[in-house]
Amino acid sequence: MRATIAIFIDAYRELNSRKLFWVVLLISLMVVGMFACLGIDSRGFTFLHWSIGVGFINTAVMSEAVFYKQFLFTELGVKFWLGIIATILALVSTASIFPDLVSGGSIELVLSKPISRLRLFFTKYAAGLLFVTLQVGVFSVGSFLVIGFRGGVWEPRVLLAIPIVVLFFSYLFCVCALLGLLTRSSIASLLLTILIWFVVFILSASQTGVTVMRSMAEERVRLLEEDIARRERELERLQGVEQAPSLAAVGNSILVASKVSRLEDRRKRLPGAKSALRNVIWIDRGMRGVKAVLPKVSDTKDLLERAILTTEERERLIRDAEREMSSIDMGGDDEEIRVDMGKVQRQAIERKYANPVWWIVGTSLAFEAVVLGLCAWVFCRRDF
């Protein structure tokens, strides 16, 4: 235990000696300060006592609580600042931990101590996460106070950002640790980690896109089938009407012919739509399979949104997104079988929320466990 405490104290001293740690902490505090200065009223944004009128965001669109919790804290603070900028800075600060540990002249000093390599590795790893924990801790506590004082809502679930962001960072840090052990280079491990992060992000974004396409294809098949069924019933009704030869009968037969033609057109389209749906389902399953073994970086960050927004607040956000997307006209089709993008958007969001937390966290932690297992194997078996 004495050795473990010493490694943690050393990690703090190391962080303390790095200017970047204090720079990031300072910027975090400035971001929180900026949040405190921002607000909304009936006209738009406010900055201190100035009001800036904008149409798309005001108290009619969202409440002050949602503005602070969802817009400022979750979207800007966590997803953008902590999730991207601060994460990159944290990786820059921590990328050298393992290359420094295994560098010649340094590793001999620690490996020759009565501490097992496994314990040494995992203690160093945990100490590396200390960086992000302190950063997110300061940011989240600051944001909690801002949301409380400015938004009027004392929301302790905001502090869930600490474990969620640390969890998200740990997915990247374990990759960085493995690359650091293999390459012994801070720069190489940093750049490769960011590259892998980018690839995972692209795969995740592509999978989301494919999910939207799947919803569109499903909706299109459903609309076609419903339209065909409706037309068949209508045609049956028209053909069932016994009429004496007359002008009306001629008109009716022309109408029937027209309906038959439309029906045949729909029937011709249906196999193509079903085939497209089958294809997109296969692609979606394939991408879900690939995504299952990778860390869910975006989904993990979205967990915070799930945690801090009430059901009503979330439903309102979905409705807004649905309304926004409904205005998009995909064109091409007749009105009866035109896909409503708003509905597709709602399905995509609901499908995203339908992913259970255990699946998001569990599969990501499984990835992390595998990578850390590899790290431990490399570290314990290597001759230095």
Partner 1 sequence: MPAPVATGAAARFDGEWVIDVRNVDKQYKSGLLGRGRVHALRGIDMRVHRGSVFGLLGPNGAGKSTLVKILMTVIRATRCDGTFLGAPVGDKATLRRVGYLPEHHRFPDYLTAAQVLDFYGALSDVPRADRRRRSRELLELVGLTNWSDKKVRVFSKGMRQRLGIANTLMSDPDLVVLDEPTDGVDPVGRRDIRNILARLRDERRTVFLNSHLLSELEMVCDRVAILVQGVVSSQGTIEELTRHSRRYEIEVGQESPAAVAAAVSSLSMNVPLSVSGAIVTIRTDDPTAIQPALDALRARDVVIRGVRPARASLEDLFMQAVTDPGTGRAIAPGAASAARGEAGNAAREGLGIETGARS
Q: Which stretch binds partner 1 (CB under 8 A): 14-22, 42-50, 60-68, 358-366?
A: 14-22
Q: How far apart are CA 28 and CA 87, in angstroms?
A: 12
Out of 61, 76, 92, 115, which residue is the one contacting partner 1 (CB under 8 A)?
A: 115
Least Å from the CB of residue 112 to partner 1: 4
> Taking the mean position of all CA atoms in its chain, how far away is CA 217?
23
Binding mask 352-381 for partner 1 (x = CB under 8 A): -----------------------------x
Dihedral angle computed from the Cα positions of residues 242, 246, 248 and 250, in that order, rounded to the nearest 10 degrees: 90
Q: Which stretch binds partner 1 (CB under 8 A): 7-15, 39-47, 153-161, 288-296?
A: 7-15
Binding mask 16-45 for partner 1 (x = CB under 8 A): xx----------------------------
Least Å from the CB of residue 10 to partner 1: 5
Residues 157 to 176 in contact with partner 1, rule: CB under 8 A: none
Q: Please identify, using beta-carbon distances, which residue of 2 and 268 lies nearer to partner 1.
A: 2
Least Å from the CB of residue 110 to partner 1: 6
Binding mask 67-106 for partner 1 (x = CB under 8 A): ------------------------------------xxxx
DSSP 226-260: HHHHHHHHHHHHHHT----SSHHHHHHHHHHHHHH
Q: Please identify, using beta-carbon distances, which residue of 104 and 331 lies nearer to partner 1.
A: 104
Task: Yes or no: say if 136 and 82 are a contact pair by the CB < 8 Å rule.
Answer: yes
Residue 113 backbone zone (phi > 0: left; psi -120 to 50: alpha; other: beta): beta
Q: Please identify, using beta-carbon distances, which residue of 119 and 157 lies nearer to partner 1.
A: 119
> Taking the mean position of all CA atoms in its chain, how far away is CA 74?
11
Q: What are phi and psi of 45, to 5 degrees?
A: -75, 155
Q: Which stretch binds partner 1 (CB under 8 A): 109-117, 166-174, 198-206, 229-237?
A: 109-117
Q: How far apart are CA 195 and CA 113, in angstroms?
A: 36
Q: Please identify, using beta-carbon distances, which residue of 10 and 313 lies nearer to partner 1.
A: 10
Q: Give every strand in the sheet of 38-40, ordered side by side.
A: 38-40, 44-47, 50-53
CB atoms within 10 A of CB 237: 9
- Binding-site size for partner 1 (CB under 8 A) equals 28
Dihedral angle computed from the Cα positions of residues 118, 122, 124 and 127, in that order, rounded to the nearest 10 degrees: -160
Q: Which stretch binds partner 1 (CB under 8 A): 4-12, 84-92, 132-140, 327-335?
A: 4-12
DSSP 12-59: HHHHHH-HHHHHHHHHHHHHHHHHHHEEE-SSEEEETTEEEE-SSSST
383 binds partner 1 (CB under 8 A): yes
CB atoms within 10 A of CB 213: 18
| Residues forming the site for partner 1 (CB under 8 A) | 2-3, 5-7, 9-10, 13-14, 16-17, 103-116, 381, 383-384
